[in-house]
């Protein structure tokens, strides 16, 4: 995903935010969105799918919110701090909830263990960017 | 869009939320997401596109956040109030910003006038649902 | 959803396509995308969720493809017939598959019956627009 | 993006497709979706934005179709070859169109040069997977 960094660096507009932090957050968001999509599908294939319903639901929410957040954060033109802040906060909330739920299944299901890790990494990247947005 | 209501009503799980309020909010969200997609594209076709850059950017953000919010709100299974609240707040922020920007062009561009109205309607629906979520 | 029509009508660029057909297709696409999201979630709440796995998967695919198609079709600026045609064909394929699967559960589950109907309506709208695109 | 591979490998269901090819395609799709989102925004910040309208439109289409395709391809549960094939074909069509358009601006705009490359890489990954799907 060196592309996210290259695209931040070649953007004709400037940004108030640190370019590495911005690119890292975009990468964490799109990776987490995809991991959650894959985890929801893996849960759906589990013989114990009836026990995975809450996990599937949070995976789907997390995938949707991370994907939307990645797009908002990726846009540098006519940057709006209020919108950026609010969407990062929503993303932190869902990543935290999804990490907690996936974490409960992580010992028996490797896909949930990896997904919980990805959610925590994404939550942390969003918290760091949120602090920078101020 | 009577379908949103019918789907809420035939869901096998219960909901703490009022079913009409839920269906109205879903309808407002998906309608606003689409209107913003259409407004961004209409702005892109304006001869004065260079003056519409902020509007296009906010339209795109609003479309993405409304679409994600519509999906989270539409899911009644294993409802999570913290996530719902945070995503509604993000949606209110972007609808408000997009309505303000589109409103500035509304006198000369009918697509912006309609879009500002849709954003205000969606913002209001989200505020009402947020109050009900508590 | 009179908004989709109003936004088509106030777009500053022209379109080769009939404006009513275009607006009807956009409306069918966003309604179907949402109905499939709601159906996937309703299936997830069924006591017999283990029997609904194929249905949930197709609902999710159909929601994602209809949503992407609605955005492509809604954009009238710099219209590209090759892209429009290909995405309408993908949408027809997934609506047809999802309608067939949901139709199998329609007698016992009202949400699947409604969703199958919505998928058929959307498939038909896409076929009509595809014929017009040529 | 080692996560995409790890998630494919830990999925409880089997797949007819080669796991490396599947993970590579998912990675190419989500990277291309994001690059196109960033390119649309970079084009929007160009002083010559009026000349970039076709490019912005195709970038937005490509981002939406790649994102939807990445989700369909990432789902291994209840695999449906007809749907997979149709969505890969739509993705090939839009990646090819976007690569051609961005390629025309690549000499003067580094973001378009990178985006054209990403679209070509994604198109190739989709063609390879499509051949494997048969």
Tell me if residue B81 falls in helix, strand or coil: helix
The domains of chain B are located at: 19-133
Chain B residues near residue A86 by CB distance under 8 angstroms: 89-90, 92-94
Under DSSP, the state recorded for D21 is H
**Are the beta carbons of A55 and A103 closer than 8 angstroms?**
no
Q: Which of these, C57, C71, C68, C66, lies nearest to C95 by C-alpha position?
A: C66
- Identify the CATH number of the domain defined by range B19-133: 1.20.1270.360
Residue B30 vs residues A73, B102, C79, D120: alpha-carbon distances, Å: 22, 18, 23, 32
Quick check: A38 pLDDT over 70? Answer: yes
Do C13 and B45 lie within an 8 Å CB cutoff? yes
Q: Is the pTM here over 0.90, yes or no?
A: yes
pLDDT higher than 80, residue B107: yes
Both structure tokens of A77: 């033109």
For chain A, what is the mean pLDDT? 96
Chains near D with 3+ CB pairs less than 8 A apart are A, B, C
Residue C1's pLDDT is 62
Residue partners of B33: CB distance under 8 A and separation at least 6: B62, B63, B64, B66, B67, B70, C30
Angle, vertex CA B56, rays to CA B55 and CA B62, nearest 5: 85
Interval C34-65: pLDDT, tens: 999 999 999 999 999 999 999 999 999 999 99
Burial class from Cβ neighbours inside 10 Å (0-12, 13-18, 19+) for residue D9 reads middle
Q: Do the beta carbons of residue A66 and residue A107 sit within 8 Å?
A: no
Between B16 and B101, the more confident residue is B101
| Mean pLDDT to the nearest integer, B43-50 | 97
Measured between alpha carbons, how far is residue C37 from residues B35, B71, C31, D129 in Å? 20, 7, 10, 27
Question: What tokens does D123 get?
Answer: 């198109």
Of the candidates C38, C67, C75, which has its C-beta nearest B7's C-beta?
C38
Q: Considering only residues D14 and B93, tell me which one the structure prediction assigns the higher pLDDT.
A: B93
Phi-psi region of C78 (alpha: psi -120 to 50; beta: other; left: phi over 0): left
For the cut 80, the answer to whether the pLDDT of residue D109 exceeds it is yes
Nearest alpha-carbon partner for B59 in B108, B111, B110: B111
pLDDT of residue D134: 86
Inform me whether the pLDDT recorded for D1 exceeds 80: no
Question: Which of A41, A45, A53 comes nearest C44 by C-beta?
Answer: A53
Average pLDDT, chain C: 96
Place of tokens 């869009």: B1
Binding-face residues of D in 73-112 toward A, CB within 8 A = 74-77, 109-111
Q: What is the CA radius of gyration of chain C?
A: 15
Name every chain A residue with its beta carbon within 8 A of the beta carbon of C50. 49-50
Q: Rounded to an integer, what distance in angstroms lies between the CA atom of residue C45 and that of residue D46? A: 49
- Using one digit for the tens of pLDDT, what is the confidence trace for D49-99? 999 999 999 999 999 999 999 999 999 999 999 999 999 999 999 999 999
Q: Least CB-CB distance to D44: which of B41, B45, B57?
A: B57
Torsion of CA D94, D96, D97, D99, to 10 degrees: 120
DSSP string for D42-60: HHHTSTTGGG-HHHHHHHH
- Dump pLDDT digits (tens) for D19-51: 999 999 999 999 999 999 999 999 999 999 999
The reported pLDDT for the residue numbered D90 is 98
What percentage of residues in chain B have a pLDDT greater than 90? 95
Q: How far apart are CA C51 and CA C53, in angstroms?
A: 6
pLDDT, tens digit (0-9, with 9 covering 90-100), for A83-112 = 999 999 999 999 999 999 999 999 999 999
In this prediction, residue C2 carries a pLDDT of: 83
Distance CA C132, CA C118 (A): 21
Residue among B21, B26, B22, B18 nearest B1 (CA): B26
Share of residues in chain A with pLDDT > 70 (%)? 99
Residue B1 is predicted with a pLDDT of 62
Cα C5 → chain centroid: 17
Q: Do A60 and C60 touch (CB under 8 A)?
A: yes
Kindly tell me if the per-residue pLDDT of A80 is higher than 80: yes
Q: What is the pLDDT of residue C74?
A: 97
H or E, element range at A109: none
pLDDT of residue B16: 82
Residue of C nearest to D60 (CA): C72
CB atoms within 10 A of CB A23: 23
B8-47 residues touching D, CB cutoff 8 A: 40-41, 44-45
User: 3-state secondary structure string, chain C?
Assistant: CHHHHHHHHCCCCCCCCCHHHHHHHHHHHHHHHHHHHHHHHHHHCCCCHHHHHHHHHHHHHHHHHHHHHHHHHHCCCCCCHHHHHHHHHHHHHHHHHHHHHHHHHCCCCHHHHHHHHHHHHHHHHHHHHHHHHC
What does the alpha-carbon distance between residue D16 and residue A97 come to, in Å, rounded to a whole number? 33
Residue A114 near residue A102, CB atoms below 8 Å: no
Question: What distances in angstroms separate CA D86 from CA C121, D72, D74, D90, one per listed residue?
Answer: 19, 11, 15, 6
């Amino acid at each position: 995903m060196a592309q996210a960094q290259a695209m931040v660096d070649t953007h004709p507009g400037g940004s108030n935010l640190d370019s590495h932090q911005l690119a890292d957050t975009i990468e964490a968001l799109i990776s987490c969105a995809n991991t959650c999509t894959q985890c929801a599908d893996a849960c759906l294939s589990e013989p114990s799918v009836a026990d995975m319903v809450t996990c599937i639901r949070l995976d789907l929410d997390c995938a949707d919110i991370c994907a939307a957040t990645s797009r908002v954060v990726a846009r540098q033109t006519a940057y709006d701090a209020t919108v950026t802040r609010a969407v990062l906060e929503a993303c932190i909330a869902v990543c935290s909830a999804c990490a907690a739920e996936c974490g409960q299944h992580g010992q028996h299901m490797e896909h949930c263990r990896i997904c919980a890790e990805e959610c925590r990494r994404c939550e942390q990247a969003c918290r760091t960017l949120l602090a920078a947005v101020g």
